[in-house]
Chain A
Amino acid sequence: MDKDNKTITISKHLYELLERKIQQDKFDSVDNYVEHLLLQLLQVEGSEDLDPEEEEKIKQRLEKLGYL
């Protein structure tokens, strides 16, 4: 379950703010905290990557079972 990590750059000021914040929030590194924040942000958009054909099949099953 290895992560393929990539590096991104942020300003020193922002980094220090995050550093201060993780002490209150019990995150053990700024990296983890930023990853958490980004995941939270992405899930608001909630876009899923199903192929349309499969999604259509699922909708049909859900309709048949009375869920839709």
Chain B
Amino acid sequence: MARPHGGQLVDQVLSNNQLNRIKEEIKELKPIPIDYETFIELENIAIGTFSPLEGYMIQQEVDSVLDTGRLTNDLAWTIPITFAVDKEQANLLEKGNQFALSYQGEVVALLDLEDKFIPDKKHWVKAVFNTTDEKHPGVKRIYKRKEVLLGGTINLLKRPKVPFPENRLTPKETRVLFKVKGWKTIVGFQTRNAPHIGHEYVQKAALTFVDGIFINPVIGKKKPGDFKDEVILESYNALINHYYLRERSVLVTLLTEMRYAGPKEAIFHSIMRKNYGCTHFIIGRDHAGVGNYYPPFAAQDIFDDYPDIGIVPLFFRSFSHCTKCGSVVNEKICPHSSEHHINFSGTKIRKMLIEGKHPPKELMRPEVADIILQYENPFVE
């Protein structure tokens, strides 16, 4: 199992004892309201998904991440983790004080405010997304974000209610799970899709060389046209039930914002899976990309700059179904020309599903298609 990033798993969830001790003090704290997405990312910090971060980054840390792709202590880190408020709100908050973060009127976390700063958004998006184009969904989000960032350590008092709670495990829990299962090597797989045969091929090719697979779909806020969360989970359950060994595969959700930062996000995704205990992580074509903003293999090439990341990236380039080989192939194993290849085009499969048709079994398992076709609209509107 991989050691957590930075060596130690962060745990900023207050115990009941700790809570009781500070109950009265909390009532005196000035509240800062937060929305659901912030609450979810707060939980990610607190449960150690973002280890070694123990809170929101201060300016020095953000600058280091943007300029070097590393924390100030030189540890690999590519996406700033921050908390934004508007100027009026920020003016009321003084550095050096503790504040209560409240969700729907209830205090859910504490913030020790260490820093308050206004970042240069243009510099930020260029560094993270390698573009300043406002049409890029990640860039757009940053431009729309409130102006002032608050940095400091957090402590979580209350866990958020999440969709599919039975599929939400903390890094601490997955580490116990892997230990009990006796898995020493674990490959992580990131997805936002219902699985087609190409995904299955990549997962099984990787699984052949390790002890277990950690299938970790990102759920939560989505773009229109993405598969609905329940469709992703149910279709993976169907795939695992029919075609995987239960004792070799684990399906757990990851609740975090998709940034669509391509290579920078591939590093971030790897670090999160390392914190869950994965020793290996699959990086395909255009990982965490969107549109044509990143060269197809930029998310693989970036690992050259991070030989110290502490998780082994497994790169997959192209794969398709070859009618001559009669199987899924990649560019290293099939000598036949492209006329014999059926590509796993997401767009093509989607079109068939929208028309209520089963994609051919070379592209998608019928049990998976059955699940998707049960939905009147399996996609986010």
The distance in angstroms between the C-alpha atoms of A48 and B179, with both chains bound, is 9
Smallest Cβ-Cβ distance to B71: which chain A residue: A1
* CB of B261, distance to nearest CB on chain A (Å): 22
Smallest Cβ-Cβ distance to A44: which chain B residue: B184
A25 with B307: CB separation less than 8 A: yes
Of the candidates B1, B53, B250, the one whose C-beta lies within 8 Å of that of A46 is B1
Of the candidates B74, B172, B173, the one whose C-beta lies within 8 Å of that of A32 is B74
B307 with A55: CB separation less than 8 A: no
A40 interfacial by beta-carbon distance below 8 Å: yes
A39 with B176: CB separation less than 8 A: no
B35 interfacial by beta-carbon distance below 8 Å: no
B28 interfacial by beta-carbon distance below 8 Å: no
A62 with B310: CB separation less than 8 A: no
A3 interfacial by beta-carbon distance below 8 Å: yes
Main secondary structure of the interface of B (DSSP, over half): loop
Which of A25, A27, A67 has the most CB atoms of chain B within a 10 A radius of its CB? A67
The contact string, 1 if C-beta is below 8 Å from chain B, for chain A 55-68, is 10011011001111
B345 interfacial by beta-carbon distance below 8 Å: no
A36 interfacial by beta-carbon distance below 8 Å: yes
A42 interfacial by beta-carbon distance below 8 Å: yes
* CB of A26, distance to nearest CB on chain B (Å): 6
Which bracket fits the contact residues of A? 20 to 34
Of the candidates A40, A42, A46, A68, the one whose C-beta lies within 8 Å of that of B184 is A46
The distance in angstroms between the C-alpha atoms of A10 and B54, with both chains bound, is 33
B179 with A32: CB separation less than 8 A: no
A36 with B176, Cβ < 8 A, contacts A3-B73, A65-B166 known = no
Of the candidates A1, A42, A59, A68, the one whose C-beta lies within 8 Å of that of B3 is A42
A48 with B175: CB separation less than 8 A: yes
A26 with B177: CB separation less than 8 A: no
* CB of B76, distance to nearest CB on chain A (Å): 10
B74 with A68: CB separation less than 8 A: no
10 A–B contacts from the bound complex (CB under 8 Å): A1-B6, A2-B73, A39-B7, A46-B3, A50-B172, A50-B175, A59-B176, A59-B180, A65-B166, A68-B181
